[in-house]
Structure 1
């Protein structure tokens, strides 16, 4: 029985070591997140922090954050967490220029946080390749 226990401990230790090495050498993924701050978002803007929390639970990932509406602005460049700055939804809806952010071009994944009303009201021509998260 003792040789079996020694063998089992050795196998577990080998897999633990392999997991540690794999995790330590994995490349960091860059995710660019844009929050729609247009007028149609008024009713769901309070849900944005919870959604950003869900998104930034990923490991080995850096996040850049921006807002988009009639005008667009960058909140922060790539870092380990999404840091939301509370804002009001007052702008007309527009996704024009969403791909013009410098961080968008280098991102491994691009995510837009919006709602169904904005998607219905705005042109979505520039959202090809984007993951769209609809808040309800």
Structure 2
């Protein structure tokens, strides 16, 4: 289990949540406490999307389930209130776990079309969104995001 801290551009401030990799050795207690669940294995996009939806149906406390697809995207399912929705992300320069966490931060920030962020140990980055279900992560251009 990892405590993830992401510094967001205003007004959201900071997102801090628990991320867990879903593998056979993960303790059940950690899975039940996770805000973000990710998997280690690549799979076809439709299988990744269905697995994410299924995981959220089993774990009502989890907000984001995200899995890497063979096409290079991350297929996720997100919980907002009582509903679940699919999200497709192009992870760019970040890992699968961080992509799942960025999706969590994007939800917290209200699904903005553009979101700048920093993660300790990484350069400033930008997340672009169509406002609903498609995200792309990239390195921020010089001066585009202020470091906190």
Higher strand fraction: Structure 1 or Structure 2? 2
Normalised to the residue count of structure 2, the TM-score between the two structures is: 0.27
- TM-score (norm. length: structure 1): 0.28
Structure with greater contact order relative to length (CA < 8 Å, sep ≥ 6): 1
| Bigger-Rg structure (1/2) | 1
